[in-house]
């Protein structure tokens, strides 16, 4: 009996010693003294769609976060909780699963303007990362003021750093007072719009590196439509001297954007700004988190000038954390939308919007989409253009009248019309130019089918389809197509209702694509200019 008692006492002493070294972690419990603290919600799902479905059933203000495991395939789980409870466990180190945490940016949710910046240091020995960040902040602030009358400076930008000896890496989160974007698709359109000169410069530098003979072949290929979509592309009646004049006129405009063009590991040209982070339900790495298998966290940069305002019972660190969350916005903020000003408006086809924007951002002029209208019977998208007036009919820009870009989804072509009375009297319509295959309906629906089925383990931050000029011109849908078949087949159970809904939606998209493809050979009557103008005036 005495021996048993001594053994039990020894075990108790060992447990006591263990828990002294490893105390039990505290549990999040809302206090009555702090009525604003939300109730505890901590639910983990294997699939992203299930997490979003659960969010809809919660009374608390919960959000979805992706937790990356230290595995070779980068498998992720999806956590649903509140900002307050997440922060409670986040920095205490009790939950190792929170070491590699990503914020999921829901599609169609209002969000902040954000950037992912990086370049390979050995391939860019003369690059000054801090200076490049400062120039980009200044450039974006100028565009926000010009396009949306929003005041912004470096003091309104949270600057996060996760650089290593090999790679310069930053996250920028813009926090102008009481201002956010409608969703991250609008953010992506805005970013692509203001970076058009940099894309053109990168394209010209890449073309200069191609031998003369190879360049001539490339310009005459089926994929010859340039990244800027200029009329000098394939199928456009531009002569050699016109192209040279165009390049000369753009040289001065593009030069100020040269700091945005860097080299990748292989020496190819790429942008300092990653354009692949503005996609559906994007996973964006969070403040103080590292990537799986690495120990470099996102921390406050040395040259950061943003200091958050701390509310009651909120530490400075927590204030930085809350400020860094892309979708953490107050209910009273004003949305940066374009309903009453010039700029971007997203149609049902954002990839086509981006292409049209590239058409009207050239020759030193930054045009935009003022409004759009869709004629469903004819399957024609009409874009009313602002700020760009070049007309093929007169061979120059109109002095006071803007133009329209019409996209025929059936025939897979685009052409230009005018508001100018003289052009309208002649019923002028430019020649038709083929749409890039990547934005035609059959391609988009095929991508959407694959994308919908693959929901759950895609969208890693390291996905970067922008390694060269042709990749950068791809749509946001294509940017997400990086999941392997092994990952796709890892989920063997398809008995979830949300899976069935996704599968049905993908099937319907394929059927619609086939119907659209079958109708391409049918002719159609021209939509009268009066009907187009009346629709745009409504």
Q: What is the pTM of this model?
A: 0.58
Q: Which backbone phi and psi does 51 adopt, to 5 degrees? A: -65, -45
Instruction: Share the mean pLDDT of the chain.
Output: 73
**Same-domain pairing of 375 and 513:** yes
Q: What are the tens digits of pLDDT across the range 478-487? A: 323 332 323 2
Model pLDDT, residue 428:
83
Residue 496 pLDDT level (bands cut at 50, 70, 90): very low
Domain that holds residue 219: 196-256
Strand-strand pairing, 396-397 and 390-391: antiparallel
Tell me how far CA of residue 92 lies from CA of 24, 27, 31, 87, in angstroms. 12, 11, 19, 9
Residues 420-447 have a mean pLDDT of 77
Highest mean pLDDT: which range of 326-330, 359-363, 443-447: 326-330
CA end-to-end distance (rounded Å), the chain: 94
Domain end, chosen from 224, 256, 288, is at 256
**Same-domain pairing of 201 and 180:** no
Does the pLDDT at position 390 exceed 90? no
**Same-domain pairing of 301 and 434:** no
Tell me how far CA of residue 501 lies from CA of 51, 77, 259, in angstroms. 15, 21, 46
In a domain? residue 57:
yes
Of 472, 467, 132, residue with least CA distance to 268: 467
Q: What are the tens digits of pLDDT across the range 296-316? A: 999 999 999 999 988 777 899
Q: What are the tens digits of pLDDT across the range 512-536? A: 444 445 444 444 456 666 666 665 5
Q: H helices within 387-438, ranges in order?
A: 421-425
**Same-domain pairing of 191 and 301:** yes
Q: What are the tens digits of pLDDT across the range 204-248? A: 776 666 554 443 333 333 233 232 333 333 333 333 333 344 444
- Cα of 5 vs its chain's centroid, Å: 65
Q: Among 137-151, 255-269, 363-377, 462-476, where is mean pLDDT lowest?
A: 462-476
Q: Are 190 and 329 in contact (CB under 8 A)?
A: no
**Same-domain pairing of 162 and 16:** no
Encoded tokens for 206:
């890449």
Q: What are the tens digits of pLDDT across the range 179-208? A: 889 889 889 989 998 998 888 888 777 666
Model pLDDT, residue 236:
37
The better pLDDT of the pair 511, 441 is held by 441
Q: What angle do CA 174, 180, 182 make, to 5 degrees?
A: 130
**Same-domain pairing of 505 and 386:** yes
**Same-domain pairing of 291 and 408:** no
Residue 32 pLDDT level (bands cut at 50, 70, 90): low
The better pLDDT of the pair 326, 467 is held by 326
Tell me how far CA of residue 15 lies from CA of 3, 22, 27, 424, in angstroms. 19, 10, 21, 88
**Helix, strand or coil for residue 345?**
coil
Residues 77-81 have a mean pLDDT of 94
**Same-domain pairing of 374 and 282:** no
DSSP letters, 503-527, are HHHHHHHHHHHHHHHHTTTS--PPP
Tell me the percentage of the chain whose pLDDT exceeds 70: 65
Of 321, 365, 312, 352, residue with least CA distance to 477: 352
Total count of domains within the chain: 4
Does the pLDDT at position 85 exceed 80? yes
**Same-domain pairing of 458 and 533:** yes
**Same-domain pairing of 361 and 414:** yes
**Same-domain pairing of 47 and 139:** no
Model pLDDT, residue 375:
78
**Same-domain pairing of 158 and 212:** no
């Amino acid at each position: 009996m005495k021996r048993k008692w001594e053994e039990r006492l020894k075990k108790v002493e060992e447990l006591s010693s263990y828990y002294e070294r490893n105390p039990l972690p505290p549990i999040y419990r809302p206090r009555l003294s702090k009525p604003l603290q939300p109730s505890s919600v901590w639910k983990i799902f294997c699939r992203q769609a299930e997490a979003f479905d659960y969010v809809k059933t919660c009374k608390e203000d919960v959000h979805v976060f992706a937790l990356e495991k230290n595995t070779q395939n980068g498998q992720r789980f999806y956590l649903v909780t509140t900002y307050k409870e997440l922060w409670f466990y986040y920095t205490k180190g009790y939950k190792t699963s929170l070491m590699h945490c990503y914020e999921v940016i829901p599609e169609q949710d209002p969000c902040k303007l954000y950037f992912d910046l990086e370049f390979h240091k050995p391939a860019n020995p003369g690059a000054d990362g801090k200076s490049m960040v400062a120039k980009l902040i200044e450039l974006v602030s100028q565009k926000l003021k010009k396009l949306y009358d929003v005041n912004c400076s470096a003091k309104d930008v949270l600057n996060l750093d996760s650089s290593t000896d090999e790679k310069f890496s930053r996250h920028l989160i813009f926090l102008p007072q009481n201002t956010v974007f409608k969703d991250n698709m609008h953010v992506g359109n805005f970013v692509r719009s203001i970076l058009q000169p940099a894309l053109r410069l990168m394209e010209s530098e890449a073309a200069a590196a191609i031998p003369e003979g190879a360049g001539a072949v490339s310009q005459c290929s089926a994929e010859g439509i340039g990244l800027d979509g200029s009329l000098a592309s394939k199928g456009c009646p531009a002569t050699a001297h016109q192209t040279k004049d165009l390049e000369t006129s753009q040289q001065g405009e593009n030069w100020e954007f040269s700091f945005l063009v860097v080299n990748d590991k292989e020496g190819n040209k790429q942008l300092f700004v990653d354009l692949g982070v503005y996609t559906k339900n994007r996973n964006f790495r969070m403040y103080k988190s590292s990537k799986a298998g690495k120990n470099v966290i996102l921390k406050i940069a040395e040259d950061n000038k943003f200091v958050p305002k701390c509310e009651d019972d909120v530490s400075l660190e927590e204030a930085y954390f809350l400020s860094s969350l892309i979708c953490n916005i107050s209910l009273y903020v004003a949305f940066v939308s374009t309903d009453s000003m010039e700029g971007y408006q997203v149609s049902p086809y954002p990839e086509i919007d981006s292409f049209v924007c590239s058409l009207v951002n050239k020759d030193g002029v930054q045009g935009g989409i003022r409004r759009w209208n869709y004629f469903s019977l004819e399957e024609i998208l009409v874009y009313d253009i602002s700020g760009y007036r070049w007309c093929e009919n007169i061979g120059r820009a109109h002095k006071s009248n803007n133009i329209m870009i019409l996209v025929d989804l059936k025939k897979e072509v685009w052409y230009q019309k005018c508001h100018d009375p003289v052009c309208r009297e002649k019923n002028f319509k430019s020649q038709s130019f083929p749409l890039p295959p990547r934005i035609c309906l059959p391609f988009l629906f095929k991508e959407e089918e694959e994308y919908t089925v693959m929901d759950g383990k895609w969208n890693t931050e390291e996905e970067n389809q922008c390694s060269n000029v042709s990749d950068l011109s791809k749509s946001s849908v294509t940017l997400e197509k990086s999941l392997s078949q092994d990952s796709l087949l890892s989920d063997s159970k398809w008995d979830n209702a949300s899976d069935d809904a996704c599968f049905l939606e993908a099937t319907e998209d394929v059927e619609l694509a086939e119907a659209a493809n079958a109708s391409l050979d049918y002719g159609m009557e021209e939509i009268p200019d009066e009907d187009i103008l009346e629709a745009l005036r409504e």
